[in-house]
Structure 1
């Protein structure tokens, strides 16, 4: 008699519960019982990191709703496993799934510092702040081993190049020895993402990111070291974590944050399916209500790509969230993120290392 295939279930320490086929795939795998699956340990998918030699590492954008022009991402994929991550669909470009593959099959750009040095040294390069971590977190757990973010920071510090950093991991404290001197020269601004004060919710929503209280400690550590730090309440998910908006802003100010920013949840491409699946597994009692509110904030759709509304949403509920953030920020004395202007005048192009050595 055939044994039924296992049903989709949560995996400890992972955000996604399945591996849906990416939108670029022409074929789709269908699970069939071969009588062997029960001997496989599928409950703890392992993290695999592969080396990647990047031809370029600085990406550029002209999106009017993004506060930077240049970005740098040391890694593809992210071990944090945040189920809401808008970067998940990018794994489809690698013929991998935006589901479990995104958080278990990672790529480290091992030639990052060398390639970055070459790009910064180009004669036609124009210095603008580089955002580190726009797509995947530069301080995800594998940074402990690969130290690619630290290598990039060391180079930017060497040539006096300004940068911003977005992370939800307290591992950033390790690099205070680089960040503090950069801050003294107005070359760095850090943004720590905190979207909940509920550790139980965070462990499901962002399973391998630092706990919320630990991120607040990192905010204080950065502030105490003289590094300007803002907090991003991102993403706000209606009827799930939006109850903590005021509390996060209050705690952020108490720990030394100088600015506040926020975004509402976005569900592009395959993320629609993954997020629905996650809700059904963890919060089935309110799944339909949450999706309904998200659609109300996106003109009746799961996602609206309009630059004017995609980050903050539209409609009554989106307006309420905006007002709540404004009032709480004003009460806490915090300004908007991305308002800080970093100094680009100090930039000195790096020297390219030559096998012949330096003559002068």
Structure 2
């Protein structure tokens, strides 16, 4: 069977992270949504996403296709129901399409001709940016169970101080000495070639992904994910950092999501609670206004390739687009459009030529090429987000 993950109606609610990737390639828990589905289905998947992303994330369509809404995270009950789908059957939950089996081209789908099946089980759905951190604890536990089933952890070095070591799993090649690991509140997963430096204080749930680094004396608690090859230090609570990003120094990050190729300068801090304890509102790209989150704690949402200088301060519920560069004293406004350059005193347009020069240098340091496809994606985002910038 050919399985295809589609973005679905939540795609725009997940901007700015879905400017540069399909919904399926968002990381929540230990794995990306795509990696979760591929483990459960034991096969590769492709994607239905925005046209400008197709060169990087192509779709492969065959005679028999099962389409899956990438906002839904897999579990055994849901996967079994999807595997049992027959042609022209569709799985709903409430009014949402979760999956369907078709031999028709995607432009010809008419669900009125399908047999509707109701999924009544529980599953995690990622439909807003804040779900990425607020549902991260549950997702870490699910991924931990999936990855570690019937496997044995590497030995925990004796220099480490551990609580609930049965909830700690260390992959081959990981290094850690003289740390404190408390897994009594949730599992701690340390991936291949990851490193936790001396003096770090860790309370699970934690997902430290492949080749990621926690620097000396860091304090990390609340369900937190550090993506592959990312480096972090200072204080972090209940946040998700995608791959290849850095928060390498002191400063506080809480209830936040940081995209790929981001860098937070030394002593960058974000607020995650309003002074009046009111509900946090976040910028909504669909309504072009600030949307209710239902949350009292909500910090920083930063899109790919964005960076900030030392001592940057972000207000509660700040959304930063793609490839923004923020610096200077004071609080910048709590919606910073893509390709913005500046700070609390105002912003100008960060021209693509300069942004591309930085991206090429940053990516080459990780031995990754900044391709013409990457440029085309960022150029599209630059044009699409012009309306938000003051030229």
Same fold, TM exceeding 0.5?
A: no
More strand by share: 2
More helix by share: 1
Looking at both structures, which has the greater relative contact order when contacts are Cα pairs under 8 Å and sequence separation is at least 6? 1
Q: What's the TM-score once normalised by structure 2's chain length?
A: 0.25
Q: What's the TM-score once normalised by structure 1's chain length?
A: 0.26
